Amino acid sequence: MGELVWEKRQFGHRARLALTPAQVRLMDDQAHAARAMWNQLHDLWQMTPKCQRALTRMDQALRQARKEIDWYGVLPAQAVLKTYFQAWRNCWDGRADEPNFKARFRTALSVDIPQGRDLQIKRVHRRWGMVNIPKVGRVRFRWTKDLPVGKLANKENRITGARLVKDGLGWHIAFRIQTLELKPEPHQGPEVGIDAGVKLPLALSDGNHQDHGRPARLPDGTADRDKWLNPQEKAKLLRLEQRAAHRKSFRKPKERSSNRLHVTYDQIRQLRARATRRAIDWQHKTTTAIAKQYGTVVVEQLQITNMVKSAKGTIENPGKNVAQKSGLNRSISQEAWGRTVTLLTYKTARNGGTLVKVPAPNTSLRCSACGFITPGSREDQATFVCKNPACGWSANADWNAARNVLHLYRIGLVTIPAAGRAVVRRTRGVKPAAAR
């Protein structure tokens, strides 16, 4: 038996908060103050010469501003400063874009709590826990996962901080957790290729397809924007959208929106958030099952940003089939392929497996039986029929692409992201077998 290897693991856990109306107002005020402070720090950063940009100078300016501006006292101001600097570090390391201005109605409300010791988490019930939020007080949250608190907390297993986030369903808290776990043994499961599609969300090369059972299009052929809602919720959403359009028609240009219109927008946002929660729940359950069953998961290196670009074109060169392309873009965005790959990446590693990316070109056009690319083989979105006279193989188009994805890995054509670009490298010692 080999020596046990421990490794540090960092992950997040999100739980819903149960706030009183007074606490909701405090949280909203704190989030708006954090957004306004972020914008002021961003303006100060842009006006300050590069040679003078430093955390200590901005910290001194912030301390002086807290003495002169009253609403700075409703939130821990140092947390906003640390979050802003961390955003720039993420940008410099290539993990995110540059920080920018946060608009009032287009930005999700959030407040960061950088120190875990300020939370003082305690479990009070089988389903409930208590957490201390600075400037707000003790708040209940849903206990759905065992957290390293109390006697279970130590230097290796602890909560390092949290972030408060608001969506259409209310306020949530996302804990940042650090643990020390045994390094998993190499997964001995089989290899599988995965093709992400619109009609079939996840097609697997062994035929074990994953479908959420919600059609991507309506009977009239248009894309279903609300497929994660039931018929009653869809009817309610339609009424709310009509009500919002009616109330918006009475607003004059540059006039402030009425409170009734904002209430209607909040109700629409709540339904949208409920649909998003259901989609993420399905993705988590599906990716967990795949990571536990397969040792090597092979996916395509997709440029999703380029795939969902508009087809409108310009005035000189107008685009074609703009409405059809718009519906396809909406369907691709709803499936959230990038989030699926992100979930598979860390879940396969946690179970001892690996996730590999291969080049995407021609995986849906090549026949996985004979390997030839013949014109007209892709008759429609769902069926692939090889036009090679010596083959004639036919199957589901997404399954054919999944078999090609696995075959590219087996012949060693692996895409390795390096310095923001894709590099194709052939590996040694791979099996030159076709994906069956």
CA distance 234 to 33: 35
Tens-place pLDDT, residues 339-357: 889 999 989 999 999 999 9
Strands 128-133 and 122-123 turn out to be: antiparallel
A 10 A CB-CB count for 98 gives 10
CA distance 263 to 269: 10
Please state, rounded to an integer, the average pLDDT across all residues of the chain: 82
A 10 A CB-CB count for 49 gives 6
Domain extents in the chain: 6-182, 191-216+282-426
Tens-place pLDDT, residues 172-228: 999 999 998 888 888 888 999 998 888 888 889 888 888 888 776 666 666 677 888
pTM here is 0.82
Strands 354-359 and 296-301 turn out to be: parallel
Strands 137-142 and 128-133 turn out to be: antiparallel
**Which pLDDT score, from 0 to 100, does residue 224 have?**
72
Strands 137-142 and 110-113 turn out to be: unpaired
CA distance 377 to 366: 8
Output DSSP code: residue 316.
S
Mean pLDDT of 412-435: 48
**Which pLDDT score, from 0 to 100, does residue 221 have?**
60
**Which pLDDT score, from 0 to 100, does residue 316 have?**
62
DSSP count for the chain of H helices, then E strands: 9, 15
User: Which of 245-249, 325-329, 348-352, 425-429 has the least mean pLDDT?
Assistant: 425-429
pLDDT exceeds cutoff 50 at 332 = yes
**Which pLDDT score, from 0 to 100, does residue 173 have?**
94
